[in-house]
A = this chain, B = another copy of it.
Amino acid sequence: MSTKTAAAHSSTSESVGRTTAAQYRRVRAFSEKIADSLAAEDCVIQSMPDVSPMRWHLAHTTWFFETFVLKAHKDYQVYDERFDFLFNSYYNTVGDQFPRDQRGLLSRPTVDQIFEYRRHVDDHLIALLRSRDITAGEISVVNLGLNHEQQHQELMLTDIKHVLSCNPLHPVYCESPIVASHGAAGGGSVSFDNGLYHVGHDGEGFAYDNESPRHQVYLEPFRLDSRLVTASQYLDFINDDGYATSRWWLSIGWQTVRDERWNAPLYWHQIDGEWFHFTLAGLQPIDPHAPVCHISYFEADAFARWAGGRLPTESEWEVASSRVPVEGPFADQLVDAGLCVHPSAQADSTDPESLTQTRDGIGLSQMFGTTWQWTSSPYTAYPGYAPPDGALGEYNGKFMCGQFVLRGGSCATPSDHVRRTYRNFFPPSARWQFSGMRLAHDLE
């Protein structure tokens, strides 16, 4: 590289660095906003092994930047050597980790001390982003770190919801009411032809490694429902003894239903014959027009079989999604507006004009930012997939077993974190995410 080019490059990096610094401030601030209304006591609890305490999220996301960006700089003074053990999540390449299911045993560093840690890392990172030394590679890792933090922001919301839900006092995280829905428009579905389609990330903008390589899949013709399955539809399944009828269920799902005594989605409670659910705004009546959420893959799959449909594959979902713009509102917008993070029926059901029109005269709605949508696709590597070298290669690839792909983002996903090719994944029994479903159908 000639000196001139290098200078130009450096100058570009500097400019990108400054843009990234702004983005960094914005993303980091949202994490702290999420924690803002909590008591210190709330931030300690790990209500089940899948959940991490708020204080851990706040520290771990900070440790990520410190470890993968700052530590490479010789003059950077590590904040506390012992944090590697405490706040490394699963990077075996970096070192041993405090047992994941025991994160709720720790009270120190306290929340205030973790905020100090955040300040320290933020100061150094922003200084670096503004310096001439910043490299494109580093900016790329900072971007990964920001996406990583956004991923944790969704977990902060779903984890604190789970934590608070364990308390018989039904604590309220945000006072805002959930807007009542105005009645849902009719359903309908959209058809797609068979053929070879391209799926996977095309290289524009940020994406995780697991969204690549872009590749071809052959699809049979299929139909996708215009909207998500609603609480009302799901209640029909419940009332038709869905949870007591083995034929709708996968064998291991049926086992789970009986072992866990499931009889409704997570957070649903029947009180004097009425259905309520625990939300971030406390205990609330079920809105029949809102999408059902907090269901497992097992429940989504069983409901689909009962309803005479099926779950879409992730390829089908992605192909279909290309007809629809990525539109919110998303988690950060909701929180900014003082609204409860919860999927709502309102917008699209009352305004048919808001639907993207397709060839059969009706569009797909609620594709993005409402509930995660279970697909029938186990989470596997795309053909030719190879994880990056080093510790960051542990980010995605090693989880490709025993999980199913969800698509579309939820109301708890921050806006920059929703995209068509995004592959979320959870075990089939997981229910504490904002996970719902949309039906697909075979076409003859």
Indicate if the CB atoms of B41 and A252 lie closer than 8 Å. no
Q: A41-B40, A168-B98, A400-B250 are in contact. Are A220 and B108 (CB under 8 A)?
A: no
A79 CB within 8 Å of chain B:
no
Indicate if the CB atoms of B110 and A41 lie closer than 8 Å. yes
Residues of B within 8 A of A44 (CB): 41, 44-45, 107
What mask results when residues 163 to 193 of chain A are scored 1 for a CB within 8 Å of chain B, else 0? 1101111010000000000000000000000
Indicate if the CB atoms of A401 and B250 lie closer than 8 Å. yes
Residue of B nearest to A216 (CB): B218
Indicate if the CB atoms of B220 and A383 lie closer than 8 Å. yes
A384 CB within 8 Å of chain B:
yes
Q: A41-B110, A41-B111, A55-B41 are in contact. Are A166 and B400 (CB under 8 A)?
A: no
Q: Which of B92, B107, B171, B247 contacts A42 (CB 8 A)?
A: B107
Indicate if the CB atoms of A106 and B167 lie closer than 8 Å. yes
A111, A220, A394, A428 — most chain B CB neighbours (10 Å): A220
A329 CB within 8 Å of chain B:
no
Q: A45-B107, A428-B401 are in contact. Are A90 and B251 (CB under 8 A)?
A: yes
Residues of B within 8 A of A169 (CB): 82, 86, 108-109
Q: Which of B102, B108, B252, B377 contacts A171 (CB 8 A)?
A: B108
Residues of B within 8 A of A285 (CB): none
Residues of A within 8 A of B (CB): 39-45, 47, 55, 82, 85-86, 90, 92-93, 98, 102, 104-111, 163-164, 166-169, 171, 196, 215-220, 246-247, 249-254, 297-298, 301, 376-378, 380-381, 383-384, 393-394, 398-402, 428, 442
The 9 closest A-B pairs by CB, nearest first: A378-B378, A41-B107, A92-B246, A40-B40, A105-B166, A251-B398, A42-B107, A44-B44, A218-B218
* 20 A-B residue pairs with CB within 8 Å: A39-B40, A41-B43, A41-B55, A42-B108, A45-B105, A45-B107, A85-B168, A90-B251, A93-B247, A104-B104, A107-B167, A109-B169, A196-B196, A247-B393, A250-B401, A298-B401, A376-B380, A378-B378, A378-B380, A402-B428
